[in-house]
Chains A and B, each alone.
Chain A
């Protein structure tokens, strides 16, 4: 990679998939700006590791992505502090589950706000900065649930399907400015979001996957790294599924 590292904003980077993405991108030489509400212990360790290794530096930017009205200032301040933003990985999300008929409206609203509204507005301000530069990469983290469906995840699935439609249309809108927009669709991952999924359900997902196992966060992080890199320069508007063949 060139002398000056590209800045990549990763949301929800304090744990789970976002942390794995932040680690991978730092190891690949990017300067990672990790957004989450709280600086978890593993993120603190990852930041220290990145510092010692002398690879891409990692910074923590505390922010509650549910605060839509504060997003313009967040982007403005990050650009002031770090300079041009090359990449954006919209990863942060909540995974509330339960029968729709019983789901509290405030939970439904939170799902839509955090998983759909917030990344769309964040992208709006980041893509402007990319437009001014004439270059950039956006990766939206969707889910196979966005196209397969799963009982108990109707509202969540709607938010993830929304990100797929968003990805395709935005790719068309900003393509001629040198900005690529893609999505990754992970299958079931072992993270805090899914810790409620009991042993039997988990076993069933494994049995149904072509590879007879689950994809892990590092598999998905590799896909994100690929989509941000030079080797993906001609890829835009696609969805890269990483699910160990669950939907094959």
Chain B
């Protein structure tokens, strides 16, 4: 599974577990409009660390958490290099 698909898959799973409805996602959707709240996003990052072995938000010097779904996916794709 590609990094992007893994992320989408995990987002759907977290939304389901938290009783949230996931918005139709594309790269420009703001993360906080995705349907996951900040706690949901934290769970997502934790799960992705397990699945992808990556935590781009600790390794990167960028203090800002990505704003859009596209930026979020990119952070993982770049972290994978």
Contact = CB atoms under 8 A, between A and B. Distances in A.
Interface of A: 72, 128-129, 131-132, 134, 173-174, 176-177
Contacts of B47: 132
A129 B55 CA distance: 12
Interface size range of chain B in the complex: 10 to 19
B8 interface: no
A128 B42 contact: yes
A128 B39 contact: no
A32 B46 CA distance: 23
A132 B39 contact: no
Interface of B: 17, 39, 42-43, 45-47, 49-50, 55, 58
A128 B45 CA distance: 8
Contact of A176 (B39, B46, B55): B39
Contacts of A173: 39
B46 A132 contact: yes
Most buried by B among A72, A132, A173, A174: A132
12 contacts: A72-B55, A128-B42, A128-B45, A131-B42, A131-B46, A132-B47, A132-B49, A173-B39, A174-B39, A176-B39, A177-B39, A177-B43
A173 B42 CA distance: 11
